Structure 1
């Protein structure tokens, strides 16, 4: 009963390929090929299919004689899927996908009503915005527009009150 590692190594040598060449074709490291051929690890199912294509052997020819190996590969694939699920959990915990998109958008739009605040609050919204918010790009665009409009509104307020105060004329009604 031959093991997968010796079958992989023999098939590679029969095809006249080096570990580097096989690794390049599979988009894995040379060390991975070495591990598979020395029995320290097993390829996942996708790589096993690609190896059978490269070596021009069926998957049955690679693993049929070793049912123990087939169960190890199956366990390896299950472990990989489990690790991927754990990684997704970690990613969601890190980023705490609390979607603040709508809240930030409403905050920016409300700040447009008071021009001086409308120049500062959109900067906070842009700083608080993350790429995980549903309205990520919309918040940036709305914030820039609100800052421009608020800048003009603030200029009008300052101009009317301090730079060129308006002259009030009182007319007497007869």
Structure 2
């Protein structure tokens, strides 16, 4: 209703005077706090020079926009909750440090590397780097083993 009033260049006071009602009533109608009766709907449609359907359709469009926004908010909330949960479970840095320690002490690295690989998940921030570090451990152990022969 507010859009139609503004499109016609009317103030709430003008509309209220034409309908012989208070400006506060017009404000309540426009904000969705109350609704005009059938007689006032007819007068509004005449005054705005639009059909009653168009007057009521505007409210339906607004409700559709509100529903769409509520769905977007719910989706964003679910995404943020997922990110929050996965960030709490992020072991990437810990696994990387363990892998680097394992590369410094080869016998321990030989035992730790499979455990680290098993604990590494795609949700970890350093997912690929942990795999790279574990593969380096194996390569170092192979080089050391071949060097001692």
TM-score by length of 2: 0.53
Whether contact under 8 Å (2:103, 2:136) holds in the other structure is no
Matched, 1:92 2:83: yes
Cα distance in 2 for partners of 1:137, 1:64 equals 58
Size of the alignment, in residue pairs? Answer: 96
RMSD: 2.6
- In structure 1, stretches of 5+ residues that fail to align are 1-62, 160-174
1:125 equivalenced with 2:116 (yes/no): yes
SS of residue matched to 2:104: coil
Contact 2:90 2:123 in 1 (8 A): yes
The counterpart of 1:143, out of the listed 127, 131, 134, is 134
What does residue range 40-79 of structure 1 map to in structure 2 within 5 Å? 66-79=57-70
Structure 2 stretches lacking a partner, 5+ long:
1-52
Q: Evaluate the alpha carbon distance shift between residue 154 and residue 118 of structure 1 in structure 2; reply closer, same or farther with a 3 A threshold.
A: farther
Please list the CA deviations of residues 60-80 of structure 1 after superposition, one character each: whole Å capped at 9, or x if unmatched: xxx955112111112111211
Q: What TM-score results when the alignment is normalised by the length of structure 1?
A: 0.46
2:101 to 95, 98, 110: 110
Partner of 1:101: 92
